[in-house]
Amino acid sequence: MTNYLIRRVGQMVLTLFLIVTLTFFLVQAQPGDYATFYSLNPDIPAEAREQIKASFGLDKPLWQQYLVHMKNTFTGNFGISFGHYPRPVLEVLAERLPRTVVLFLSATAVSFYVGFFLGKAIAWRRGGVLEYAATISGATLFTAFTPAFALMMIWIFAFKLGWLPVGKFLDPLIWRGAEVSANHVFSYMLATAAVFIVFAFLTLLAARKLGRLGAGRTPFLVIAAGAAVVPMAWAFTGVGYLALDILRHMILPIATLTLISFAGTMLLTRNSMLETMREDYVMAARAKGLPEKVVRDRHAARNALLPVITSLVYSLIFAIDGSVIIEAVFSWPGTGMTLLEAVRSEDLPLVMGSIVFIGLFSLLAHVIVDVLYVYLDPRIRYQ
Amino acid sequence: MGMPTADSQPILKVVDLSLSYLTRQGPVHAVQSVSFDLGRGQSLGLVGESGCGKTSVANCLMRLLPDNGRLTSGQILLDGQDLVPLSEEEMRHFRWGRMAMVFQAAMNALDPVYRVGEQVMEAIEAHGVEGTTAGARERVARLFRMVGLDPQLMERYPHEFSGGMRQRAVIAMALACDPAVIIADEPTTALDVIVQDRLLRELKGVQRELNMSMIYISHDIGVVAEVTDRIGVMYAGRLVELGDTADVFGAPMHPYTAALMSSFPSISGEKHGLETLPGEPPNLANPPAGCPFHPRCAYATEECRREFPSQVRRGSRWAACWHPLTDMAGAGK
């Protein structure tokens, strides 16, 4: 496993190298010269311009520029953003990336769960009303034009019903006079989520180690109690209302993304379930006198999950891809919107930085899913 | 056979059991009017060609039918309790708790993603046979030892087991809740002959030791002869002959039984050329009128083509045939 991981990281570095190379030459191939544009930016003082020019090697031939760019990228120097001058690209991305990752990871998780749940239900009871309703509505939403559908969601839930905010990351009226910055609150929210996930995972692990007999619902009660502690702890910090505001802004984009994409997981799960339901071990599970739900969830669905997980990596990448559209429609200040802004304002260092980070995230998603697979399927062992 | 006491009541009594599969071509009558008794501690073999309904009978008994399977008539009396009208939830307690199964495709009867021991524990937990996890683990260890597996193998996954080990694990799983009846459906077919022979003897030993009743289904009459007390021969979804194993194999009454026997090699018996039975089993969606065996039978007459024969009894055995063979005729044919 360790060897495998080392090899995978090696592959990642190689792929990243290709991504950086492609990005560099694609940006170079655009009309408007990189160097000219840089040196024409009036916001940048003359002496700084010379300094930056030298640090990027802009006075040198293309192949030398490329080598310098590569060296800079791999030493973590993504340059200074034009649009956010004088903030470095890395600082802008460090602020934006977590927002995108949180939004899309949550959306992917919810959509995956909903899709998997519906998929196994409609495979188990074929020909039911649920099957037709879920398949037709899922397929319709899956093929809907994303921006139009997102706008429709905003129109219904934010504009007509007024239940949720129209867009953006937070409500300035609520945040006026707040003593902490949004990034600060958001990073604490991230930390809370991480701690809670680890807590839930350890509880389930402990319950498993102690044996299922007699444990019953106890682990779930423990997790529920943990979930109840979280809002109380936030209430004590005095910035709970600010966190709540960010959460409220997340609901509509997550719901929209879920509705658009759940059908993919659902139909895949359904097909995979129909395969595993014919397996002898499912018949054996039923013969053992296990309750229907246990046969369905612990045996049929558990095995049906394996091919579906493979598709998860693609939906993760799709999530980041699609982030440009969804973030633009919901004015969500993440990497997708940053990329769009940067392209519009020809903020070339930021464009390249965003693309490289989106690539890096996709590579990470691949490795994570591969490692996850080892835990889900004992037959798989990487050497 | 002696005075009828409560204990001599059969543990399992199957009466007039019929099963059809609904298909686009119309119903397929996979099992027709099958009746038999299974005594306590007794083992009954069901033999016949592929597709004769042996496995369907097993699935009926467990009520594990595919969506298109319909029980059209009959009773399955387990200890006097009819299983046919039970709801799924009521039936769940009988499955494995009272009647367990060793599967035909034992290689695939274990779920690849769980440890083998865990899968046996699952059955124990579902039926509340042991109160604690430690007790359940102890029981699994005992079962593993009983079928000749190292208890440490509990922690392994099915793909780490050889074919023989998986088969033993599946037998251990079947024994998990002390069932009164075990249905073994071709349990050793996928194994090589040496492993098969050893497993058979162990299975027989365990069955005797625990005084369980067993239904042993196989197309291999050599194997069935070795492990069963009584034997039923099936053809085209019907039971055509039933009797003590020694009697049936010693002097078959039904021409089909005789044909089946002469198509199998025997190591201990007298040397004879192997004969193949000409023709094919009938299509169960559209079976021939009368005795379903008549198109392939050397003794068939007008009445065989007209009407299904009634049972001809001889002591504790019977055959459904218009022209049952007398003692010597079967061997000579």
Q: What is the pLDDT of residues A340-361, one digit of tens each?
A: 888 887 778 888 888 888 888 8
Q: Which of A205, A222, A238 marks a domain boundary?
A: A238
A-chain residue closest to B94, CA distance? A289
What is the DSSP code (8-state) at residue B106?
G
pLDDT at B49 over 60: yes
pLDDT at A158 over 80: yes
pLDDT of residue B270: 60
Residue A214 falls inside a structural domain: yes
* Two tokens, residue B18: 């019929």
pLDDT of residue B273: 64
Of residues B93, B123, B133, nearest to A213 (C-beta): B133
Residue A156 falls inside a structural domain: no
pLDDT at B276 over 90: no
Pairing of strands B69-78, B43-47: unpaired
pLDDT of residue A348: 80
Q: At what angle do helices A89-124 and A335-344 cross, to 10 degrees?
A: 130
**Residues of chain A neighbouring B118 (CB-CB closer than 8 A):** none
Query: What is the count of structural domains for chain A?
Result: 2
Of residues A17 and A238, more confidence is placed in A17
B-chain residue closest to A377, CA distance? B113
CB contact under 8 A, B92 and A299: no
Which of A288, A302, A376, A377 best tests the B interface by mutation, with the highest count of B CBs <10 A?
A288
**Residues of chain A neighbouring B122 (CB-CB closer than 8 A):** 285, 288, 290, 294, 298
pLDDT at A204 over 50: yes
**Residues of chain A neighbouring B134 (CB-CB closer than 8 A):** 211
Distance, in Å, from the CA atom of A272 to the CA atom of A303, rounded to the nearest integer, reads 8
pLDDT of residue B332: 39
Banded model confidence at residue B331, pLDDT cuts 50, 70, 90 = very low
Of residues B111 and A206, more confidence is placed in B111
Work out the average pLDDT over A331-337: 85
pLDDT of residue A57: 62
Banded model confidence at residue A273, pLDDT cuts 50, 70, 90 = very high
Nearest of A340, A335, A366, A344 to residue A102 by alpha carbon: A335
Q: What is the pTM of this model?
A: 0.79
Which of A275, A281, A375 best tests the B interface by mutation, with the highest count of B CBs <10 A?
A281
H-run or E-run covering B305: helix B302-306
**Residues of chain A neighbouring B137 (CB-CB closer than 8 A):** 211
Nearest of A252, A244, A248, A243 to residue A326 by alpha carbon: A252
* Two tokens, residue B305: 């083509």
Q: At what angle do helices B133-146 and B163-174 cross, to 10 degrees?
A: 130
Which of B111, B140, B177 best tests the A interface by mutation, with the highest count of A CBs <10 A?
B111
pLDDT at A261 over 60: yes
Residue A62 falls inside a structural domain: yes
- For residue A47, give its domain range: 2-74
pLDDT of residue B214: 92
**Residues of chain B neighbouring A284 (CB-CB closer than 8 A):** 101, 103, 109-111, 173
Name B44's bridge partners.
B215, B230
Q: In chain A, what percentage of residues exceed pLDDT 90?
A: 9
Q: Hey, how many other C-beta atoms are within 10 angstroms of the C-beta on A286?
A: 23
Of residues A374 and A208, more confidence is placed in A374
pLDDT at B4 over 50: no
Alpha-carbon distance A314 to nearest alpha carbon in chain B (angstroms): 24
pLDDT of residue A318: 64
Q: At what angle do helices A240-276 and A302-321 cross, to 10 degrees?
A: 130
Pairing of strands B317-320, B43-47: unpaired
Among A127-141, A162-176, B179-193, top mean pLDDT goes to A127-141
pLDDT of residue A105: 83
pLDDT of residue B330: 42
Compute the half-sphere exposure of residue A333: CA atoms within 13 Å on the CB side of its CA: 12
**Number of A–B residue contacts, CB under 8 Å:** 87
Average pLDDT value over all residues in chain A: 83
pLDDT of residue B213: 92
Q: Hey, how many other C-beta atoms are within 10 angstroms of the C-beta on B253?
A: 29
Of residues A113 and A64, more confidence is placed in A113
CB contact under 8 A, A286 and B125: no
Of residues A162 and B242, more confidence is placed in B242
Banded model confidence at residue A38, pLDDT cuts 50, 70, 90 = low
**Residues of chain B neighbouring A298 (CB-CB closer than 8 A):** 122
What is the DSSP code (8-state) at residue B149?
-
Alpha-carbon distance A218 to nearest alpha carbon in chain B (angstroms): 15
Residue A157 falls inside a structural domain: no
- Cα A77 to its chain centre, rounded Å, is 24
Distance, in Å, from the CA atom of B261 to the CA atom of B308, rounded to the nearest integer, reads 23
Written as one string, the DSSP assignment of B222-269 is HHHHHH-SEEEEEETTEEEEEEEHHHHHHS-SSHHHHHHHHTS--SSS
pLDDT of residue B242: 92
pLDDT of residue B333: 37
Amino acid at B99: M
pLDDT at A209 over 50: yes
Q: Which of A74, A103, A130 marks a domain boundary?
A: A74
Of residues A78 and B245, more confidence is placed in B245
* Two tokens, residue A218: 């106890």
Residue A14 falls inside a structural domain: yes
Three-class DSSP category at B318: strand
CB contact under 8 A, A290 and B122: yes
B-chain residue closest to A279, CA distance? B108
Work out the average pLDDT over B282-288: 80
Sign (positive/negative) of CA torsion B154, B158, B163, B168?
positive
Nearest of A187, A189, A223 to residue A206 by alpha carbon: A223
* Two tokens, residue B86: 């039970």
Of residues A11 and B188, more confidence is placed in A11
| A339 close to A354: Cβ distance less than 8 angstroms | yes
Q: Hey, how many other C-beta atoms are within 10 angstroms of the C-beta on B151?
A: 15
Residue A223 falls inside a structural domain: yes
Residue A90 falls inside a structural domain: no
| B198 close to B147: Cβ distance less than 8 angstroms | no
Q: Which residues of B touch A (CB under 8 A)?
A: 62, 64, 88, 92-97, 100-101, 103, 105, 108-113, 122-123, 125-127, 130-134, 136-137, 157, 159, 173
HEC readout, chain A: CHHHHHHHHHHHHHHHHHHHHHHHHHHHHCCCCHHHHHHHCCCCCHHHHHHHHHHHCCCCCHHHHHHHHHHHHHCCCCCECCCCCCCEHHHHHHHHHHHHHHHHHHHHHHHHHHHHHHHHHHHHCCCCHHHHHHHHHHHHHHHCCHHHHHHHHHHHHHHHCCCCCCCCCCCHHHHCCCCCCHHHHHHHHHHHHHHHHHHHHHHHHHHHHHCCCCCCCHHHHHHHHHHHHHHHHHHHHCCHHHHHHHHHHHHHHHHHHHHHHHHHHHHHHHHHHHHHCCCHHHHHHHHCCCCHHHHHHHHHHHHHHHHHHHHHHHHHHHHHHCHHHHHHHCCCCCHHHHHHHHHHCCCHHHHHHHHHHHHHHHHHHHHHHHHHHHHHCCCCCCC
Banded model confidence at residue A36, pLDDT cuts 50, 70, 90 = low
Compute the half-sphere exposure of residue A64: CA atoms within 13 Å on the CB side of its CA: 9
pLDDT at B329 over 50: no
Average the pLDDT over each of A219-233, A333-347, B121-135, B260-274 and give the range with the smallest value.
Answer: B260-274
Q: Which of A41, A59, A74 marks a domain boundary?
A: A74
> What is the CATH architecture assignment of B12-332?
3-Layer(aba) Sandwich (3.40)
CB contact under 8 A, A283 and B136: no
- Which residue carries 């010693």 as its tokens? B250
CB contact under 8 A, B64 and A379: no
Average the pLDDT over each of A121-125, A340-344, B143-147 and give the range with the smallest value.
Answer: A340-344
CB contact under 8 A, A284 and B110: yes
pLDDT of residue A56: 59
Residue A207 falls inside a structural domain: yes
